[in-house]
């Protein structure tokens, strides 16, 4: 398998795990239905993939319309008004005297 294709599939699974799961299950249904001549299983797989991709596309269209970029609000000032603390050093311990 092409390494670029593997990277593409992995990134798809990370971004859209639910969609990827349904697409994988639909692909398995298509393969099993096509090879064993169970046409209802093949049709179910095609329907599952088609419906999932159509819903994902529709949700993507809807989110693109409602997304409004806002400037980030800083809750803390960029610089503190208090002076910085001095650096601490660890003093070497003396071994116990016997």
Q: Is 57 exposed, middle or buried (0-12, 13-18, 19+ CB in 10 A)?
A: exposed
Per-residue pLDDT of the chain (98 residues; tens, 9 = 90+): 688 888 888 888 888 888 888 988 999 999 999 888 889 999 999 999 999 999 988 888 776 655 566 677 777 777 777 777 787 777 777 777 76
pTM (predicted TM-score): 0.56
Distance, C-alpha 3 to centroid of its chain? 20
Count CB neighbours of 9 within 10 A: 13
Which H or E element spans position 13?
helix 3-15
Residue 46 CA to residue 25 CA, distance in Å, equals 10
Q: Return the pLDDT at 65.
A: 57
Q: Return the pLDDT at 89.
A: 76
Domain boundaries, the chain: 3-66
Residue 93 CA to residue 95 CA, distance in Å, equals 6
Q: Return the pLDDT at 28.
A: 92
């Amino acid at each position: 398998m092409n390494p670029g294709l593997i990277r593409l599939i992995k990134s798809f699974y990370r971004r859209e795990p639910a969609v990827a799961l349904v697409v994988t299950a639909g692909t398995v249904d298509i393969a099993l239905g096509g090879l064993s001549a169970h046409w209802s299983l093949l049709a179910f797989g095609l329907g599952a993939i088609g419906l999932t991709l159509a819903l994902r596309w529709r949700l993507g269209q809807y989110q693109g319309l409602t997304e409004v970029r806002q400037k980030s609000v800083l809750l803390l000032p960029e610089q503190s008004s208090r002076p910085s603390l001095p650096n601490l050093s660890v003093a070497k311990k003396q071994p116990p005297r016997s």
